[in-house]
Structure 1
Amino acid sequence: MKKALALALVLAGSAGTAYAADWTPPKVPDPLPDSLTWNGITFYATLDYGYAYQTNGRPVGSVVSTLEFIPFTTTRNFTGQRISTIAGNGLQQSNVGVKIDTPIGNGWNIVGRIESGFDPLTGEFANGCVSFLQNAGLNYIQQNSNADSGRCGQALNGPAYGGISNPLYGTLTVGRQQTFQLDGIAQYDPLALSYAFSLLGYSGTNGGSGSTQAARWDESAKYMYEYGPFHAGAMFSSGSSGSGMFGNGYGFDVGAVYRGFSMDAVFTKEHGAVNLQTAVNDPLNSTTLAASISDNTAYSVMAKYSWSLGPALAPAPYYIKAANAEPQSDKLTLYAGYTYIDQANPSTAITFGDAAGGYPLTISGILPDNNAFTTDKILQFYWTGLKYDFAWGLSLTGAYYHVSQNSYVADGSACVLGGASKPDCAGLFDQVSFVADYALNKHLDVYAGITYGRVTDGLASTYPGTPGAKFGFAGTGTEVDTTSIMSGFRIKI
């Protein structure tokens, strides 16, 4: 990590010197307008596409057509295969959407947003749930990429909300909305929720306060208020079957922005959240999904600070087309964050219903599992990073992520073999990433990066080669790691 950050700063200094000497960076003509806006209604879209290599993985699937970039997952089937493949969504989820911010008089605006994420390789709506069904009952060697997700084929699998806004009274919106926790990590993750390079982006655990399916709340109301440098908000959802959270949820956010510094503290409570189990727990040809249910409590504190460096220079005309654009200078940003998550057995047992997207949960004597947390499961996330943005379009980012899990021993048996005997034993996850991203113009950037992730003890258990692995792949290993490299391009309209 230290070497990666040092390299970033050396490159920053070298490139800054070249730019000061009137070096002209490569550029690509940009035929698109700055935005596609009409009467406060803005259409936008993102396409993220590239090529990836992984030292320990498995083939991409027909639905989840990207690698499982890190071993912090429920799927537990990194099988030692070296994978080289076309992949998508390296920096962000490809999407298409409409944003509304239309004045209606007396300082009031109608606001709203509808968005759907899609797979850039197939053109289909993002659908993590069906990827579990496609791999149901298959042994590790036969499986391809699959991942738990709140995006499960819905026509509107991202935000879908509307409301009103006023600079004096705040903003009130209702519909399907991101939690304050997901909003927060999107702002304070140095890699902006990159799927290929960021734990916070690839895994939905943090954004969903313990449960990936609960990162976006259906049937929710959200209120935000700003006063000078301070802001605060409250959010509530009634929950429902098919939404990823059966019971109600509520959250609060307080924060401040002052010059280059910003900070947010978030509290979240969720009742009856859905946690899909690995596909090997689903019978072959299953049409239902095995899941455990939890009540989640999460606290998070996140901050960043930015410094402007060097003289302010006029933006290159190919990069920002707006008339009279303000001069830009290089910028260095430091990020840090901490999240504490407590998952407990639900106060109200869930005996039937659907996961996100309307996929039925498996119903049996023990499923859905309402007793997966004999003692509370505690996850603690820590992250930090540095990002250097050059005024002419290049950014260099180094980031480090760490997770610790306690021993919650769901089935009551002891943890042995270094704690790797069961997935509910104590364990650790570490990830380090470095990414270079260059904007060829406002709507097109190219990127390349590398990430290394490792799980140990309980978080590594049941992977092939560790105790508890199914289908004859059990061993005595206590850790699993992988290195992933990806380069690609992103088009943003």
Structure 2
Amino acid sequence: MKKKALAIALAMTGLAGTAYAADWTPPKVPDPIPDNLTWYGITPIGALDLGYAYQTNGRPLGSVVSGLEYSPFTTTRNYTGQSISTIQHSALQQSFIGVKVEEPLGGDWKAIARLDTGIDPLKGTLSDGCSSFIQNAGVAYNQQTSNADSGRCGQAFNGQLWGGISNKQYGTLTIGRTNSFQLDGIATYDPMALSYALSLLGYSGTNGGAGSTEAARWDNSAKYVYDYGPITAGAMYSNGGNATGFFGDAYAFMFGGHVGGFSAEATYTREHGAVNLQSAANLPLNGTTLFANMSDDTEVSVMGKYTWQLGSSSSSAPMYTKAAKAEPLPVDKFTIFAGYSNVRNANPNTPITQGNSAGGYQLTLLDNNAFTTARVFDFYWTGVKYDFAWGLSLTGAYYHVNQNSYVADNAACPATGGASAITCAGGYDQVSFLADYALNKHLDVYAGATWAQVRGGLAAAFPGNPGTKVLQGITFSGPAPGHDISTAAVVTGFRIKL
């Protein structure tokens, strides 16, 4: 599959290069959406991402979560060899609606705000990952539909909801429900821009949430960012609480900068009492509450990219904005990306015995000893992107994760017997390719392919040969060592953006 995907990517690159060398330019596509929709400082924002997907190993679309489980880096562990061919949504970007506010206050001060919420355009509902566990409670693996842990759990504003003030000299302060520094960072330095279908960083919230998906967005938080020339630094704090991503408090720091075509960023994050939902197969049949592993999480991350501008701004390539005559003409760009994160889950210093997950879903079994010794993930990623001046971009990316061998509920990885458990060391690999063509400023069409595989402890608890982890009568079963779980997918579609 790797060789096939690489051949496809090389073929796309060759075709694009041939067309460009021949000075071929595509016809302009009329853009009916105005460039400026701002009214009294309020601007509507949103995205609608729809298309088709085929997956070699996955689960059917769910009654709540109608997206596919694109990556086997997941707690659901419910791949059973079934191929899926379906209409899909949000392959490149979470479909959402919202508004942003930027209103001058005088003296170089501005009032700013943002509110947005993820939607499922195939169902006409708000995104609700937690409900997908309820829909699959106690259902056998081979009968489950798609489900996934998420910080988007049916809240009215399951994305961001914050307000604040900004000043070029004094910085920017926002208060409310905000992205973590890590989520903001990987959105910039992931070559696939957090694509659900093509990026581990996009599909799984583990990296963006410092180890816990529900903690990728912080409720009850204050966030401060200061720019000094090419340097950027920031700090944020949240007091957490019930029905958020973590019950305790959390704090994070960010430091970055840019010089010419190079930019980089480092982040440090600490969260207390974070929520990690357990698989729906662990729940009782027709259950209406959720089970979770509780943890204190720590993440350290560094990431960067470098962009080369190729050619001259006097290029004859067409511009698709209405202000084309007043703007410099675009040039080709080539960008390389790289990043590393170290994520640690440990037992919470303050045990959590009751409460709710994001969205207010009741938790009735909270395991405060799921990480008797720390579970450690090492994330690595790299990629390249070539942007043609006339609108086409080609991207390739590679993602890798290592998991250590750790002790959970006082049970270690089995030393003998050939069994693999979720506490055993394991690995994850993913390679992805994307061709995305901007027809105009607000509409693009795309086609992509991806292949991903888990092995060792990260492959345990998928249906297969026995492995063991027992918690209060719940037995996790998984494949023996060497029994890797893999899936491949192709997606195509279109995206409309405001």
The TM-score normalised by the length of structure 1 is 0.95
In the TM superposition, residue 442 of structure 1 has moved relative to its aligned partner by 1.0
Q: CA deviation at 1:456?
A: 0.2
> Counterpart of 2:406?
408
Aligned residues: 489
Q: Give the AA of the match of 2:166.
A: S
| Structure 1 segment 233-312 matched on structure 2, within 5 A | 233-312=234-313
Paired AA for residue 377 in structure 1? R
Aligned equivalents of 1:28 and 1:418: distance in 2? 63
Q: Secondary structure at the match of 1:361?
A: strand
Q: Which runs of 5+ in 1 are unaligned?
A: none
Q: Is the 8 A contact 1:139 1:471 kept in 2?
A: no
Partner of 2:446: 447
Number of the residue aligned with 1:394 = 392
1:352 aligns with 2:354: yes
Does the 8 A contact of 1:429 with 1:456 survive in 2? yes
Q: Which moved more, 1:462-471 or 1:202-211?
A: 462-471
Is the 8 Å Cα contact of residues 55 and 483 (structure 1) preserved in structure 2?
A: yes
Residue deviations 1:145-191 (CA, integer Å, cap 9, x gap): 00000000001000100000000000001000000000000000000
Displacement of 1:320 in angstroms is 5.4
- Paired residues for 1:141-180 under 5 Å: 141-180=142-181
Over the matched positions of the two proteins, sequence identity in percent amounts to: 62
Quote the offset at 1:80 in angstroms: 0.3
CA shift, 1:10, in A, is: 7.0
Give 5+ residue unaligned stretches, structure 2. Answer: 469-473
**Do the aligned residues in 1 keep the contact of 2:421 with 2:478 (CA within 8 Å)?**
no
Deviations 1:309-344 (A, max 9, x none): 123225624355455122110000000000001110
Distance in 2 between residues matched to 1:420 and 1:256, nearest whole Å: 47
Q: Is the contact made by 2:381 and 2:397 (CA closer than 8 Å) also made in structure 1?
A: yes
Q: Specify whether residues 328 and 2 from structure 1 end up closer, same or farther in structure 2 by C-alpha distance, changes over 3 A only.
A: farther
Segment of structure 1 superposing worse, 111-120 or 35-44: 35-44
Residue aligned with 1:425, SS: coil
Alignment-mate amino acid for residue 396 of structure 1:
L
Asked whether the 8 Å contact 2:5–2:449 carries over to 1, the reply is no
Amino acid at match of 2:355: G
- For the residue of structure 2 that corresponds to 1:368, the secondary structure is strand
CA 1:418–1:152: 2 relative to 1, 3 Å: farther
Q: 1:306·1:331 contact (CA, 8 Å) conserved in 2?
A: yes
Asked if residue 327 in structure 1 is aligned to residue 318 in structure 2, the reply is: no
2:356 match: secondary structure: coil
Q: 1:108 to 1:6 in 2, by over 3 A?
A: farther
Q: Which amino acid aligns with 1:208?
A: G
Q: Which residue of 2 aligns with 1:136?
A: 137
Distance 1:262 1:289, change over 3 A: same
The CA distance in 1 between the partners of 2:189 and 2:76, in whole Å, is 27
Assess, with a 3 A threshold, how the Cα gap between structure 1 residues 430 and 106 changes in structure 2: closer, same or farther.
same
What is the rounded CA distance, in whole Å, between the counterparts of 1:245 and 1:44 in structure 2?
A: 28
Match status 1:195 vs 2:193:
no
Counterpart check, 1:56 vs 2:57? yes
Distance in 1 between residues matched to 2:487 and 2:244, nearest whole Å: 33
Query: 1-side partners of 2:322 and 2:71: how far apart?
Result: 35
Spell out, residue by residue over 1:166-221, the C-alpha distance to the aligned partner (whole angstroms, 9 max, x if none): 00000001000000000000000000000000000000000000000000000000
Aligned partner of 1:481 among 470, 481, 486: 486
Distance 1:49 1:378 in 2: 36
Q: Contact 1:205 / 1:212 at 8 angstroms: preserved in 2? A: yes
Q: Is the 8 A contact 2:374 2:407 kept in 1?
A: no
Q: Are the aligned partners of 1:12 and 1:388 in contact in 2 as well (CA < 8 Å)?
A: no
Aligned AA for 2:169?
L
Instruction: State the shift of 1:259 in Å.
Output: 1.3
Stretch moving more, 44-53 or 477-486: 477-486
Q: Is the 8 A contact 1:420 1:456 kept in 2?
A: no
Residue 66 of structure 1 aligns to a residue whose secondary structure is: coil
Distance (Å, rounded) in 1 between the aligned partners of 2:91 and 2:241: 32
Distance 1:6 1:145, change over 3 A: closer
Q: Which amino acid aligns with 1:249?
A: A
TM-score norm. by structure 2 comes to: 0.94
- Residue 472 of structure 1: how far off its partner (Å): 11
Q: Deviations over 1:214-234 (max 9, x none)?
A: 000000000000001001000
In structure 2, distance between residues paired with 1:473 and 1:222: 42
Kindly indicate whether the alpha-carbon contact (under 8 Å) linking 1:419 and 1:426 is maintained by their aligned counterparts in 2: no
CA distance in 2, matches of 1:186, 1:27: 29
What SS class does the counterpart of residue 73 from structure 1 fall into? coil
Match of 1:428 in 2: 427
Q: Residue 30 of structure 1: CA displacement?
A: 1.1
SS in 2 for 1:168: coil
**Whole-angstrom CA distance in 2 between matches of 1:21 and 1:115:** 43
1:475 Cα deviation from its structure 2 partner: 5.3
Matched, 1:336 2:338: yes
Aligned-partner Cα distance in 2 for 1:270–1:280: 27
Alpha-carbon distance change, 368 to 445 in structure 1, aligned in 2, over 3 angstroms: same
Contact 2:63 2:135 in 1 (8 A): no
Contact 2:345-2:371 within 8 A present in 1 as well: yes
Q: CA 1:417 to 1:485, structure 2 compared with 1: closer, same or farther past 3 Å?
A: farther
The residue number in structure 2 matching 1:124 is: 125
Query: Helix, strand or coil: the match of 2:311?
Result: strand
Distance across 2 between alignment mates of 1:358 and 1:297: 25
Once residues 463 and 50 of structure 2 are traced to their aligned partners in structure 1, the CA distance between those partners, rounded to angstroms, is: 30
- Structure 2 SS opposite 1:280: helix
Distance 2:206 2:417 in 1: 25
Q: What letter matches 1:47 in structure 2? A: L
1:373 and 1:471 map into 2 onto residues whose CA distance is 17
CA contact (8 A) 1:419 1:427 kept: no
Aligned partner of 1:375 in structure 2 is 373
**1:316 alignment partner, SS class:** coil
2:29 match = 28
Q: For 2:483 and 2:229, how far apart are their aligned partners in 1?
A: 51
- Secondary structure of 1:36's aligned partner: coil
In structure 2, distance between residues paired with 1:333 and 1:6: 21
Q: Distance in 1 between matches of 2:61 and 2:419?
A: 27
